[in-house]
Structure 1
């Protein structure tokens, strides 16, 4: 187990601080602009689009973290919603967030993304702001692709390098603090999606945060 995984599993003031930040819009907007040159309204727009997609769908949210997505999807009725994370500390926070949300058929699961036991079970896989904390992001994307059905979508966001000196310095800072693992480029992200057998790939960057969407080909 890597140092980064250990940090997230046990939870620290920094990880709980991230959970607070992402759940409070004004704080998130300021932080992501200062650290990553990103306009976090892009994330809220993404969640608005997702809200229209999950009604009656089977959804996998990995890593779900402290449940930051839940509040934005409150009142929706997916057929199944799995919030998965390797961190018991984050899942404890997610449980509290789930109590406040009214998403139907929501279940929290502790598991490692690369070894998830899911195979062609979901219509939509969400993965927001997690890949840069994982020791094997390419393997994680492959596992997400495996988890969705043919025609299913893998959608999310991640921090990338190469968007500017300021964001790259923040990446280095969080790596030294044991919060970020190795962080890769937009081109690397695209290659992971291609290698996982996904198509209809889109990647849009807001500063050093890349938003991606890709589809698992339907069976011919």
Structure 2
């Protein structure tokens, strides 16, 4: 079974969601498994209450809606938020999470990250948490996310990477054999993938085997800049 088939069809994926839905448990598990301090991730989620206000946001893969805790309290008219996942199991859990939190400004879509059903430059922000290492082609996924970002739009996410230690690399290999993980590269591979997707302003921080990254879709060059470049 490939990682795509696993995450799309297996009802066991909800076990992951149950863990990340409880911050204290998730932080302990991340520390033990990956040597990662997960506080930064939950802090980023909490900051969505301001960061997502008045913006169009794509969340892919949305999982069971763990990011929704950062939207709690925002009026529906201040949220233009699209949650995408390939798994109906995850989307059902995300819908339940949204209902529990009284969030009505979220649109749910089942789709592959490599074929997002949105026009070019549709979003101000794209969130991609804990999904990149599960994709069969990270560059294709990042390129598609970049396509739907507006010029100057921000990509923000996390990914498991190789090279943090022998134990963590072994866990990655086991997950790949089980079909849970897809292509999982190193810190340098992640940086290269972000560049290949056409992103700029790349910043990556690593905590254990998890990388926290941000990047932006570049603003287009003006006609004058292009002309000046050609003249030189």
User: Any idea what SS the aligned residue of 1:115 has?
Assistant: coil
Between the aligned partners of 2:33 and 2:94, the Cα distance in structure 1 is 25
Cα distance per residue 1:76-108 (max 9 Å; x no partner): 254410000111111111111111123452011
What is the correspondence of 1:200-211 to structure 2 with a 5 Å cutoff? 200-211=201-212
Matched, 1:108 2:77: no
Q: 1:48 matched to which residue of 2?
A: 46
Q: 2:28 matched to which residue of 1?
A: 30
Alignment check: 8 A CA contact 1:76 1:104 kept: no
After TM superposition, the score normalised by the length of structure 1 is 0.94
Count of aligned residue pairs for this structure pair: 218
User: Any idea what SS the aligned residue of 1:113 has?
Assistant: coil
Alignment check: 8 A CA contact 1:42 1:206 kept: no
Between the aligned partners of 2:114 and 2:210, the Cα distance in structure 1 is 22
Cα distance per residue 1:120-153 (max 9 Å; x no partner): 0100000000011111111000011111100100
Cα distance per residue 1:189-216 (max 9 Å; x no partner): 1111111221111000111110100011
Between the aligned partners of 2:213 and 2:146, the Cα distance in structure 1 is 13
User: Any idea what SS the aligned residue of 2:180 has?
Assistant: coil
Between the aligned partners of 2:209 and 2:29, the Cα distance in structure 1 is 12
Q: 2:227 matched to which residue of 1?
A: none
Aligned partner (choices 57, 65, 70) of residue 55 of structure 2: 57
Alignment check: 8 A CA contact 2:79 2:106 kept: no
Q: 2:174 matched to which residue of 1?
A: 173
Q: CA RMSD in A?
A: 1.4
How far residue 20 of structure 1 moved from its aligned partner, in angstroms, is 0.4
How far residue 47 of structure 1 moved from its aligned partner, in angstroms, is 1.7
Matched, 1:145 2:141: no
What is the correspondence of 1:182-193 to structure 2 with a 5 Å cutoff? 182-193=183-194
Between the aligned partners of 2:159 and 2:71, the Cα distance in structure 1 is 20
Q: Which has the larger radius of gyration?
A: 2
Out of 66-75 and 152-161, give the one that drifted further: 66-75
After TM superposition, the score normalised by the length of structure 2 is 0.89
Mind listing any 5+ residue stretches in structure 1 that lack a counterpart?
Answer: none
Between the aligned partners of 2:73 and 2:59, the Cα distance in structure 1 is 17
Mind listing any 5+ residue stretches in structure 2 that lack a counterpart?
Answer: 223-232
User: Any idea what SS the aligned residue of 1:200 has?
Assistant: strand
Between the aligned partners of 1:113 and 1:190, the Cα distance in structure 2 is 19
- How has the CA–CA distance of structure 1 residues 114 and 87 changed in structure 2, closer, same or farther, with 3 Å as cutoff? same
